Structure 1
Amino acid sequence: MSAWPEHALAAASHRDPYPYYLELARQGWARDQRLGLWLAASHAAASAVLACPACRVRPLDEPAPAALAGSALGETFGRWLRMSEAPIHAPLRAAAAASLAAQEDERAQRRARDLARGFLAGAAPDGARLDALVDFLPAATLASLLGWPERSLLGLSGQVAAWCRAVAADAGAAEREAGEAACLALHAELAALADAGWLARWRQEFGELGEDALRANLLGALFQSRDAGAGLLAAGIAWRCEGPWDWREAGEWRRRLRADPVLHHTRRFVAEDATLAGQPLKAGDQVLVLLAAAARDPAGPGESMDFGRGRHGCPGERLALAIARGALAALEEIGPDWRALGGGMVFRGPPNVRMRRFGAGDGR
């Protein structure tokens, strides 16, 4: 592998992208003509973009990817608060934040530990089993807290995975078809839970927003948990493979995430001319906000950026960390050969997530 990533979109899967990020952070802004993107890499530049109302999560004329137009996938995607700048964004965000805040960390951690115990029962985990756990647990734990029955969780995690693959920029027709089926199935399952869990509370407090928006955003929380939650859990396991560390402490997670982030970038679309952190931008420009570079910027405050900032910052940090701690608690009970588990690790995943995969040494 080259000593330097090919470009910013390839950096998350590079063995050591951090010298590259440090150079970009020192520049603050850079223009990648091949990608057609501005790179906001310093803490000041990244923070300015994330705070600017002119920098949107979707193009003005494309609330959902064009390939999803006319599908249940596209309709659901377009209603997510994560992808919306509409007036509905603020009350939906308040609902999501309140629901997440109501979840006790210890309860979520215990639920994740119990699900991980059941998933790993019967045999010592190898790399392939670790990968399967990482893919299963974040969405399954969140769904369990939402009210899904335990017997449905394994199928649900597969449906969420199919959904994630379907909305990827490089998804093919077969993947979009599978994702559409998964989306419809998840909507049907959520409708069956309509009188319990988060949806019942959301309907009581925010029913004026409409059932479709409420359901779409609960499903959106599952979607968000899939890759980001899996990346966080896989990182915690990888660090444990290197040696003991204090994974019970949230502060230690944040310290490690600043040094070795999981979420490496997010994209923004400029809706009107603006000057941000000294850089003039024009309407129609696209900006890749390099969160991993901003976190390590020597001129910044030295803080993790994995959960974003501003109106689109993720409100699920506490819950995501609780799920990861629960999984590590279950693994520590088994007492695996940690160094052997980490021996075949590679980086392979979505372009914006530093995803560890452990099964490469198992012939996968």
Structure 2
Amino acid sequence: MSAWPEHALAAAGHPDPYPYYRTLAEDGWRRDEQLGLWLAASRRAVDAVLGSPVCRVRPVREPVPAGIAGSPLGEAFGRWLRMSEGDAHARLRTAVGEGLAALPCDEAELTARRLARAFLMTGAVDGRRLDALVDFLPVATLASLLGWPEAALAEAAEAIARVCRALAADADAAARERGAEACRTLLADLAVLSTDGWLRRWREAFSEWDGASLNANLLGILFQSRDAGAGLLSAGIAWCCQGEWDHADPAEWRARLRQDPVLHHTRRFVAANATLAGQTLRAGDQVLVLLAAAARDPAGPAETMDFGRGRHACPGEALALATARGALHALEQNRPDWRALGGGIRFSGPPNVRMRRFGAGERA
């Protein structure tokens, strides 16, 4: 592989993209004509984009991706707060953040630990098993907390994976249809879950929502937990393969995520002409916001950017870290051969996530 990523969308899967990011951060802004978008890489440029009301999470003329418009998945996507703008949605986003912050993360960590322990008992702890755990656990933990029956957690995790594949930029018609069917199944399951526990608290907190909007947004939270949670857990496992570290300490996670981020970029669409951090942007421009470059920018405040900033920042940081901590605790109890598990790590996942894969050599 080249010593330099082919372009910014390929950087998360590169063995060492950080010299490339450092160069981009020094520039602050760069136009990539091949990709047809602007790259915001310095912390100043990234903060300006994430804080600007003219930089939207969706194009003004395409609030729902054309490939899923009119399908059950498109209808759910159109209700997701993380894909919406406006004062009403801002108030509800704040409520979502407060709702997640109020949830007991000790319960999430114990649930993740229990599920991981049961999962690992069903096979040898090799690279393929780790990959399967990474794909399963983030969604399964949240689904279990919402009240999904234990026997149905694997199906729920696979259904969310189909939704993720349907929303990928390169999804074909077959993947979108499978995602739409998975969406129908998940929404039906959410509608009949017991109202005890976490789900009852969600319904009480968002009583102003109709049931369809609440269930669509719970589906959206499960969707968010999948790739980002898998990337976070795979990073934690990879760091264990390198040596002991204090994964019980959230500050240690943040320090490591600043140096080796999991979420590398997000995208924004410019709704009106603007000048941000010295760069003139035009309505209709796209900006690739390089969170990984901004996190390591020497001119920045030395903070992780994995959970974003501004009005669309992810409110699930504590929950994601609790899930990863629980999994790593369960793994340590199995006393795996960390060195062997770390010997064949590859990077393979969505373009914006630095996803470790441990079983590539075992599949050869």
Q: Same fold (TM over 0.5)?
A: yes
**8 A Cα contact 1:343 1:361, kept in partner:** no
Residues 180-239 of structure 1, C-alpha deviations (whole Å, 9 max, x = no match)? 110000000000016334443333333323222111111100000000000000000001
CA distance in 1, matches of 2:332, 2:97: 31
Q: Is the 8 A contact 1:91 1:206 kept in 2?
A: no
1:205 counterpart residue number: 205
Q: Which moved more, 1:194-203 or 1:69-78?
A: 194-203
Alignment match, 1:246: 246
Q: Distance in 1 between matches of 2:311 and 2:300?
A: 20
Aligned to 1:273: 273
C-alpha distance in 2 between matches for 1:92 and 1:212:
15
- Cα pair 1:41 1:293 within 8 Å, conserved: yes
CA contact (8 A) 1:199 1:215 kept: no
Instruction: Give the count of matched residue pairs.
Output: 364
Cα distance between partner residues in 2 of 1:205 and 1:13: 39
Aligned to 1:58: 58
Root-mean-square deviation over aligned CA pairs: 1.2
Task: Show structure 1 runs of 5+ residues with no match.
Answer: none
Task: After TM superposition, list the pairs within 5 Å mapping 1:1-364 onto structure 2.
Answer: 1-193=1-193, 195-363=195-363
Per-residue deviation, residues 148-194 of structure 1 (Å, max 9, x unmatched) = 12111111000000110011110111111111110000000000016
Provide the rounded CA distance (Å) in 2 between the counterparts of 1:126 and 1:102: 36
Q: CA deviation at 1:325?
A: 0.4
Q: Deviations over 1:298-338 (max 9, x none)?
A: 11111100000010000000110000000000000000000
Distance 2:81 2:164 in 1: 17
Unaligned runs of 5+ in 2: none
**Structure 2 CA distance for aligned equivalents of residues 199 and 70 of structure 1:** 28
Shift of 1:297: 0.3
What is the rounded CA distance, in whole Å, between the counterparts of 1:200 and 1:334 in structure 2?
35
Tell me, in whole angstroms, the C-alpha distance in 2 between the residues paired with 1:328 and 1:202: 28
Aligned CA distance change for structure 1 residues 106 and 197 (closer, same or farther; 3 Å): closer
Decide whether aligned partners of structure 1 residues 165 and 294 sit closer, same or farther in structure 2, where only a CA change above 3 A counts.
Answer: same
Q: Distance in 1 between matches of 2:132 and 2:278?
A: 45
AA partner of residue 15 (structure 1):
P
Give distance in 1, aligned partners of 2:321 and 2:206.
27
Alpha-carbon distance in structure 2 between the residues aligned to 1:195 and 1:61: 37
- Which residue type is aligned with residue 286 of structure 1? Q
TM-score scaled to structure 1, two decimals? 0.98
Q: Deviations over 1:19-44 (max 9, x none)?
A: 00000001100000111111000000
The residue type equivalent to 1:110 in the other structure is: L
